Structure 1
Amino acid sequence: MTNSTATPQDNSKIIGDNSQVILHFDLTLEDGTAADSTRVSNKPAKMVMGDGSLTPNFEECLRGLTVADKKSFTLKPTDAFGMPNPDNIYYIDKTKFTADMELSEGMIMGFSQPDGSELPGIIRSIAGHSVTVDFNHPLAGQTVVFAVEIIDVK
């Protein structure tokens, strides 16, 4: 008689529909430039498959992974954060900002929405009394590389 250390795969630990996933991720651009990482703060991300917090393409890459899996995958712009939409660029009169606010190109700031939520916008340019604000995702139009490490699946 032989003792086997292999145990049957616990299907509850495999990422699928409605799985609650805790993971570390590193997000880089195609040229290796760091864009985001949970490791900087050492706080893993928590998400639920199908809750809309991730694109369907990103979720598809996670399906079938299990605890301790490490995987890296590349997503084209249309599969990640989309392409920039010119309708998301607004020209706002400088008088709409508080007088003591120092605006600078590249600055990211929150804009209050009618429903009380906040939408981040990037100041792209300041010309006279016109401020160009880009509400596209900062990574729109970029091919991105996600490296993930699955910490837990429920």
Structure 2
Amino acid sequence: MTTIQQGSKVTLHFTIKMKDGSVADSTHNMGKPAQLVIGDGSLSDNFEKHLIGMQANQSKAIELVAQDAFGMPNPDNVHHMDRSKFVGDAEVEVGTIMAFSGPDGAEIPGIITDIAGDSVTVDFNHPLTGQDVTFEVEILSIG
């Protein structure tokens, strides 16, 4: 029986639950499982340690504290932008999540946290940064 180890290509379903039990994200909602390679940097080392040794068709609930899940908020990820950069029909208001182009051209989400005159504060930290979460994982296959 194949078990997950360093370098394994894993196909899994996951559900991320907050402390209050609400669901923050789930591959079930997207209708397709996630794929990753253990050790490729897409998961924290601590999270990967929980997956190593699991087998296909196995499920597990993994509780992660903030720094092992999405990390702690990084003040360098908070930017002040000129309101004139926000054009078009997009509503500029606190709480709005917008997509911005990153330095590499990839889209990165940012949440508007403050508006003061012509200055708009945008937080590019992951929305779950600083949160303790539970990952419910269901391993579908291991390659």
Q: Does 1:124 align with 2:113?
A: yes
- Residue 141 of structure 1: how far off its partner (Å): 0.5
- 1:91 and 2:91 equivalent? no
Structure 2: distance between partners of 1:114 and 1:39:
31
Mapped to 2, the partners of 1:49 and 1:65 lie a distance apart of 12
- What letter is aligned with 1:136? N
Structure 1 segments of 4+ aligned residues over 3 angstroms from their partners: none
Match of 1:149 in 2: 138
Aligned to 1:52: 41
Q: Which has the larger radius of gyration?
A: 1
Tell me the distance in 1 between the aligned counterparts of 2:103 and 2:15. Answer: 33
Larger mean CA deviation between 140-149 and 128-137 belongs to 128-137
1:93 to partner: Cα distance: 1.1
How far residue 99 of structure 1 moved from its aligned partner, in angstroms, is 4.7
User: Partner of 2:122 in structure 1?
Assistant: 133
Q: Name the counterpart of 1:79.
A: 68
Please, what TM-score do these two structures have when normalized by structure 1?
A: 0.87
Give the percent of matched residue pairs that are identical in Structure 1 and Structure 2: 53
Q: How many residues align?
A: 143
In the alignment, structure 1 segments of 5+ residues that lack a partner are 1-9
Q: Which amino acid aligns with 1:59?
A: E
Measured after TM superposition, the shift of residue 125 of structure 1 is: 2.0
Normalized against structure 2, the TM-score is what? 0.94
**Stretches of structure 2 lacking an aligned partner (at least 5 in a row):** none
Of the structure 1 ranges 44-53 and 112-121, higher mean CA displacement relative to structure 2 is found in 112-121
Structure 2 partner of 1:6: none
Alpha-carbon distance in structure 2 between the residues aligned to 1:114 and 1:38: 28
Aligned equivalents of 1:97 and 1:15: distance in 2? 45
Residue 39 of structure 1 aligns to a residue in which SS? helix
